[in-house]
Amino acid sequence: MKMKMKQFIYFYKIFVILFIVIFIYNSELNAQNDNIDNIDNIDKETKGSIASRGSIYDAKGRILAYSKKIYCVSVFPSLIKNKNTLSKTLSKLLNIKKSIIDEKIKLAEKHKKKKILIERDISDNQYNSIKKLEVNMPSLKTYYIYGRVYPNKKLAAHVIGYIESTNYEKNMSELGYYDYLNDEIVGKAGLEYQFEADLKEGNDIHTTINMDIQEIVEKAFNKENGAVVVLDYDNADILAMYSCPSFDPNIFAPPKDDDTIKNIFKIDGLLINKAISAQFPLGSNFKVVTAISALENEIITPKHKYTCKGYFKLNDKSRSYKCHYAKGHGTLDLVNAIKHSCNVYFYNLAYQTGVENISNTALSYGLGMQTGVDLPYEKSGVIPSSEWINEHRKNKWYAGETVIVGIGQGPILATPLQNAIVFHTIANGGKRYRPRIIKEISYEDGAMVFQSEVVDELSTPKAVLKTIQKGLELVPTNGGTAYSVFKKAKYKIAGKTGTAESSMVVKEKGKEREITHTWFSCYGPLPNPKIVVVVFNFDGYSGEISSAPIAKRIFDAYLKLKN
């Protein structure tokens, strides 16, 4: 009996051991099969879900961004037979330090990731060599995704935008990329971001950007810090938009050089589109708004005169508000006040017109609100409306603040695109457009066409705008603030210089210096304008010296192109 019991226990133990072994074997086999299934599914993922991203074109059908196949190699950590052999082999074939590969695998194991990207954008030879190893090294998998190419490099970079790659170090759901796979590309800025859904589905985007004009603008602006906007006079289409300094979006697609990317992020504001995502005081460019407000509210007539002695005072005890011409401009009417950009004239005008009237006019011309352009991160600007004063000043406002608002200082902030819309509206006789940057999006079953859109037909009397236009036409003529720049031009334009103080300072040779913003906003050639140009220089000397010459170079090249 004891013998039978011992035999029973013996065979029971053997049964239990065999059961455990079989269970472990099956578990490992299932896990391995799961990983093999994952490997087999990569081709489906990369060729299906990670489809070719739509292309971006300029107004003439020239390509600004497109996709291409990028070959990649990944590793499945759970299927690695010999980590050392694997790392050495990949290091030799990919010309990557073995320690880097080891660290990637280690990180993937730590985070319990099924797959880790070792390298992307490998050559055909590298792809073929590694492909042959997959039979004996089941942890390896070569495949392709679609990468992004920007053939014109820095050209219109802030408009086009750039992409980033989703990866295992980021939580996709937190970023909002619910429908994305690991290592897939996604738009991060500009049109790439704004139209992510369309581009991801492979739909092409056709823009209003004219590469010829964009090249002219970028060459004319050179290496200054600032922005330029060029609008079509007929419909406010954006023909060119430039933010400087710029960057090459190719470095993000694919992100092979981490050090380069880190250095880019160290440059303050480099990736910000200053044309729409940064706002600045308008300085004397705002004087046209003050003038329109005074005229349409019948505070003065165009013939009304003020005398400039080089300064303005609210009363005998108030501080002096200086004119840029210390000797004084003498007695001027409105048209000549615009021509000479006389501060004293506009101090008087603002004081009489009042901040509420001025703000209402500014708002009607599109300041203090987004233009509605189809680009991300657009700023609204600041206008001291009654609501703004109530919210930010608790209804406390002083006469001296109204005076400086009249010349575009104080709580007056705008983007270069907003300013361009103001001058476009003045130039065309009172129609405020929504600036258009997309002409159409192509789909398999047709195209969605984006029409030009008039947002508002302003109630400003035509005679008022004629007066402002006359003043702007005198700015480049003898005695005007832009005469030194345009006196030899064989064409005529209308425009306005602008110089604005800022609260920002820079250190030069151990001393602090206040940054001065400069503007030149114009349209031409007269009498039949074709384009509206706004030049903003972040750190200049004056509108005449720092911004107007850039505008002239743009007009010179533009007219040469058209002729």
Give the mean model confidence (pLDDT) for residues 504-523: 88
* pTM given for the model: 0.84
CA distance 209 to 195: 16
pLDDT band at 192 (very low <50, low <70, confident <90, very high): very high
Q: Is the pLDDT of residue 175 over 60?
A: no
Q: Is 551 within a domain?
A: yes
Question: Which pLDDT does position 136 carry in this prediction?
Answer: 92
pLDDT digit string, tens, across residues 439-459: 999 999 999 999 999 999 999
Q: How many domains does the chain have?
A: 1
Is residue 191 one of the residues assigned to a domain? Answer: no
For residue 84, is it within any domain?
Answer: no
For residue range 317-369, list pLDDT tens digits in order.
899 999 999 999 999 999 999 999 999 999 999 999 999 999 999 999 999 99
Q: Is residue 380 part of a domain?
A: yes
The gap between the terminal CA atoms of the chain, to the nearest Å, is: 115
Residue ranges making up the domain that contains 444 = 283-562
Angle at the Cα of 343 (from 278 to 424), degrees rounded to 5?
50
State yes or no: pLDDT of 255 exceeds 60. no
- Using 50, 70 and 90 to split pLDDT, how confident is the model at 107? confident
pLDDT at 525 over 90: yes
Q: Where residue 522 sits, what CATH number does that domain have?
A: 3.40.710.10
Q: Write down the mean pLDDT value for the chain.
A: 89
pLDDT digits (tens, 9 = 90+) for 116-172: 889 878 999 999 999 999 999 999 999 887 788 999 999 999 999 999 876 644 544
- Look up residue 441 and give its amino acid: I
Are 60 and 211 within 8 A, CB to CB?
yes
What pLDDT digit, counting tens, does each position of 18-56 carry?
Answer: 655 555 445 444 444 444 444 444 444 444 335 689 999
Per-residue H/E/C for 91-118: HHHHCCCHHHHHHHHHHHHHCCCCCEEE
Tell me, yes or no, whether 345 lies in a domain: yes
Considering the domain boundaries, does residue 115 fall inside one? no
Judge whether 170 lies within some domain.
no
The mean pLDDT value for 88-101 works out to 94
pLDDT reported for residue 10: 58
In a domain, 483, yes or no: yes
pLDDT of 271-322, one tens digit each?
999 999 999 999 999 999 999 999 999 999 999 999 999 999 999 889 999 9
How many C-alpha atoms does 465 have within 13 Å on its Cβ side?
18
